[in-house]
Amino acid sequence: MASLADMIPLAKTMGVEVTEATPDLVRGRLEVRPDLCTIGGALHGGAIMAFADTLGAIGAYLSLPEGANGTTTVESKTNFLGAAKAGAIVTAESTPVHKGQRTSVWQTRISGESGKLIALVTQTQMVL
């Protein structure tokens, strides 16, 4: 499963670890390294979005209809609800809201070590 994230260069650079991947659930974890943080030492919003996008994209890829060539993100919305400091581990769970012939919509919940929700991301993937 880690090889799925390793196929995405940014995810590999960030250290995204996929711990479970099925067409209906993708789970992952990310160590909050200092180079992924803001000046204040909190996980950068762009890193949060990239983490969620990686998991949603993997789920969309695993859910592609027969004959499809791939998937690409066409829309993403993030609600930032909390912070994670450098040194923490954040976990995420991505599940489908809709899986169709042309698009799929994935919702990813990113939580801190205490279980507190850090971000809620909804993305739309287009089938190629």
Q: Look up residue 79 and give its two tokens.
A: 């609600």
Which of the following CATH numbers is that of domain 2-127: 3.10.129.10, 3.30.390.50, 3.20.20.70, 2.60.120.260? Answer: 3.10.129.10
Give the per-residue pLDDT at 42. 98
Average pLDDT along the chain, 128 residues, taken 10 residues at a time: 79 96 98 97 98 98 95 98 98 98 97 97 98
Give the per-residue pLDDT at 2. 52
Strands 89-99 and 17-22: unpaired
Give the per-residue pLDDT at 3. 72
101 DSSP assignment: S
CB atoms within 10 A of CB 33: 13
Give the per-residue pLDDT at 4. 79
- Per residue, what are the HEC states of 10-36? HHHHHCCEEEEEECCEEEEEEECCHHH
Angle at 60 between CA 59 and CA 65, to 5 degrees: 125
Within its chain, how far is the Cα of 56 from the centroid? 5
pTM recorded for the entire structure: 0.95
